[in-house]
Protein backbone atom coordinates (compact mmCIF):
# COMPACT_ATOMS: atom_id res chain seq x y z
CA UNK A 1 0.00 0.00 0.00
CA UNK A 2 2.92 2.26 0.58
CA UNK A 3 3.81 2.04 -3.08
CA UNK A 4 0.34 3.13 -4.09
CA UNK A 5 0.48 6.11 -1.69
CA UNK A 6 3.82 7.15 -3.21
CA UNK A 7 2.34 6.98 -6.72
CA UNK A 8 -0.70 8.97 -5.65
CA UNK A 9 1.46 11.52 -3.85
CA UNK A 10 3.75 11.80 -6.89
CA UNK A 11 0.77 12.33 -9.22
CA UNK A 12 -0.88 14.84 -6.93
CA UNK A 13 2.17 16.88 -6.05
CA UNK A 14 4.63 16.34 -8.90
CA UNK A 15 3.29 18.02 -12.04
CA UNK A 16 6.52 17.96 -14.04
CA UNK A 17 5.56 15.27 -16.54
CA UNK A 18 2.24 16.99 -17.34
CA UNK A 19 3.89 20.40 -17.57
CA UNK A 20 6.64 19.06 -19.78
CA UNK A 21 4.03 17.63 -22.16
CA UNK A 22 2.15 20.95 -22.25
CA UNK A 23 5.39 22.86 -22.83
CA UNK A 24 6.36 20.55 -25.72
CA UNK A 25 2.91 21.03 -27.28
CA UNK A 26 3.10 24.85 -26.89
CA UNK A 27 6.61 25.02 -28.39
CA UNK A 28 5.61 22.79 -31.33
CA UNK A 29 2.52 24.96 -32.07
CA UNK A 30 4.53 28.19 -31.73
CA UNK A 31 7.27 26.98 -34.07
CA UNK A 32 4.76 25.85 -36.71
CA UNK A 33 2.85 29.15 -36.65
CA UNK A 34 6.07 31.17 -36.61
CA UNK A 35 7.44 29.20 -39.55
CA UNK A 36 4.20 29.81 -41.46
CA UNK A 37 4.32 33.55 -40.67
CA UNK A 38 7.96 33.82 -41.71
CA UNK A 39 7.23 31.91 -44.91
CA UNK A 40 4.44 34.36 -45.79
CA UNK A 41 6.73 37.30 -45.04
CA UNK A 42 9.47 35.90 -47.26
CA UNK A 43 6.96 35.26 -50.06
CA UNK A 44 5.73 38.87 -49.83
CA UNK A 45 9.30 40.19 -49.92
CA UNK A 46 10.10 38.02 -52.92
CA UNK A 47 6.96 39.26 -54.68
CA UNK A 48 7.90 42.90 -53.99
CA UNK A 49 11.47 42.36 -55.23
CA UNK A 50 10.24 40.67 -58.41
CA UNK A 51 7.71 43.45 -59.05
CA UNK A 52 10.39 46.08 -58.51
CA UNK A 53 12.82 44.37 -60.88
CA UNK A 54 10.25 43.70 -63.61
CA UNK A 55 8.09 46.85 -63.54
CA UNK A 56 9.41 49.75 -61.49
CA UNK A 57 13.11 49.53 -62.37
CA UNK A 58 12.56 49.59 -66.16
CA UNK A 59 10.18 52.57 -65.84
CA UNK A 60 12.69 54.47 -63.72
CA UNK A 61 15.55 53.66 -66.10
CA UNK A 62 13.53 54.79 -69.12
CA UNK A 63 12.44 58.00 -67.40
CA UNK A 64 16.01 58.70 -66.33
CA UNK A 65 17.34 58.18 -69.86
CA UNK A 66 14.67 60.49 -71.33
CA UNK A 67 15.26 63.25 -68.81
CA UNK A 68 19.06 63.01 -68.72
CA UNK A 69 19.36 64.00 -72.38
CA UNK A 70 17.18 67.07 -71.79
CA UNK A 71 19.06 67.99 -68.62
CA UNK A 72 22.42 67.58 -70.35
CA UNK A 73 21.29 69.85 -73.20
CA UNK A 74 20.09 72.52 -70.77
CA UNK A 75 23.27 72.26 -68.73
CA UNK A 76 25.43 72.72 -71.82
CA UNK A 77 23.37 75.77 -72.85
CA UNK A 78 23.68 77.30 -69.36
CA UNK A 79 27.41 76.61 -69.34
CA UNK A 80 27.79 78.28 -72.74
CA UNK A 81 25.85 81.36 -71.53
CA UNK A 82 27.98 81.71 -68.40
CA UNK A 83 31.13 81.46 -70.48
CA UNK A 84 29.85 84.24 -72.76
CA UNK A 85 29.00 86.42 -69.76
CA UNK A 86 32.44 85.87 -68.27
CA UNK A 87 34.04 86.70 -71.62
CA UNK A 88 32.08 89.95 -71.87
CA UNK A 89 33.00 90.95 -68.32
CA UNK A 90 36.66 90.24 -68.98
CA UNK A 91 36.58 92.28 -72.17
CA UNK A 92 34.76 95.11 -70.40
CA UNK A 93 37.25 95.15 -67.53
CA UNK A 94 40.15 95.38 -69.94
CA UNK A 95 38.52 98.22 -71.86
CA UNK A 96 40.31 101.57 -71.33
CA UNK A 97 37.01 103.44 -71.61
CA UNK A 98 35.57 101.38 -68.77
CA UNK A 99 38.66 102.03 -66.67
CA UNK A 100 38.20 105.79 -67.17
CA UNK A 101 34.51 105.55 -66.22
CA UNK A 102 35.32 103.48 -63.14
CA UNK A 103 37.97 106.00 -62.05
CA UNK A 104 35.53 108.89 -62.56
CA UNK A 105 32.87 107.09 -60.52
CA UNK A 106 35.39 106.38 -57.78
CA UNK A 107 36.30 110.08 -57.64
CA UNK A 108 32.61 111.05 -57.65
CA UNK A 109 32.00 108.64 -54.77
CA UNK A 110 34.87 110.07 -52.75
CA UNK A 111 33.56 113.60 -53.37
CA UNK A 112 30.09 112.50 -52.31
CA UNK A 113 31.46 111.02 -49.08
CA UNK A 114 33.33 114.26 -48.34
CA UNK A 115 30.13 116.25 -48.89
CA UNK A 116 28.25 113.94 -46.57
CA UNK A 117 30.86 114.41 -43.84
CA UNK A 118 30.66 118.21 -44.30
CA UNK A 119 26.85 118.16 -44.17
CA UNK A 120 26.97 116.01 -41.04
CA UNK A 121 29.30 118.48 -39.37
CA UNK A 122 27.00 121.39 -40.32
CA UNK A 123 23.96 119.57 -38.94
CA UNK A 124 25.84 118.69 -35.73
CA UNK A 125 26.93 122.33 -35.35
CA UNK A 126 23.37 123.57 -35.93
CA UNK A 127 22.10 121.07 -33.42
CA UNK A 128 24.59 122.22 -30.78
CA UNK A 129 23.57 125.85 -31.37
CA UNK A 130 19.90 124.94 -31.03
CA UNK A 131 20.57 123.00 -27.84
CA UNK A 132 22.49 126.00 -26.48
CA UNK A 133 19.67 128.40 -27.35
CA UNK A 134 17.07 126.12 -25.78
CA UNK A 135 19.17 125.65 -22.66
CA UNK A 136 19.54 129.43 -22.34
CA UNK A 137 15.83 129.97 -22.95
CA UNK A 138 14.83 127.37 -20.36
CA UNK A 139 17.24 128.67 -17.76
CA UNK A 140 15.81 132.22 -18.29
CA UNK A 141 12.30 130.82 -17.95
CA UNK A 142 13.32 129.04 -14.79
CA UNK A 143 14.74 132.31 -13.36
CA UNK A 144 11.52 134.13 -14.24
CA UNK A 145 9.51 131.37 -12.64
CA UNK A 146 11.53 131.58 -9.42
CA UNK A 147 11.08 135.39 -9.36
CA UNK A 148 7.32 135.11 -9.68
CA UNK A 149 6.96 132.28 -7.24
CA UNK A 150 8.29 134.43 -4.32
CA UNK A 151 5.32 136.69 -4.42
Q: What is the pLDDT of residues 65-101, one digit of tens each?
A: 888 888 999 999 999 999 999 998 888 778 888 888 8
117 band by pLDDT with thresholds 50, 70 and 90: very high
**Which of 89, 118, 114 minimizes the C-alpha distance to 81?**
89
**Is there a contact between 127 and 133 (Cβ–Cβ < 8 Å)?**
no
Rounded CA-CA distance 42/30 in Å is 18
Rounded CA-CA distance 98/104 in Å is 10
Rounded CA-CA distance 71/132 in Å is 72
Rounded CA-CA distance 21/71 in Å is 70
- pTM of the prediction? 0.35
Task: State yes or no: pLDDT of 151 exceeds 60.
Answer: no
Sequence spans of domains, the chain: 15-94, 98-150
Helices within 52-95 (DSSP H only): 57-94
Rounded CA-CA distance 39/42 in Å is 5
Backbone φ, ψ for residue 64 (5° rounding): -65, -45
What one-character DSSP code corresponds to residue 55?
I
Rounded CA-CA distance 75/116 in Å is 47
Q: What is the pLDDT of residues 50-73, one digit of tens each?
A: 888 888 888 888 888 888 888 999
Rounded CA-CA distance 115/121 in Å is 10
Amino acid sequence: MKCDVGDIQSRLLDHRPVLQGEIRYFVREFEEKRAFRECRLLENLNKMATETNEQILPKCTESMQNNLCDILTRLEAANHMTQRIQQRELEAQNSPQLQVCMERRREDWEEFLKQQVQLKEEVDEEHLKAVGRLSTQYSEMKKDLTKHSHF
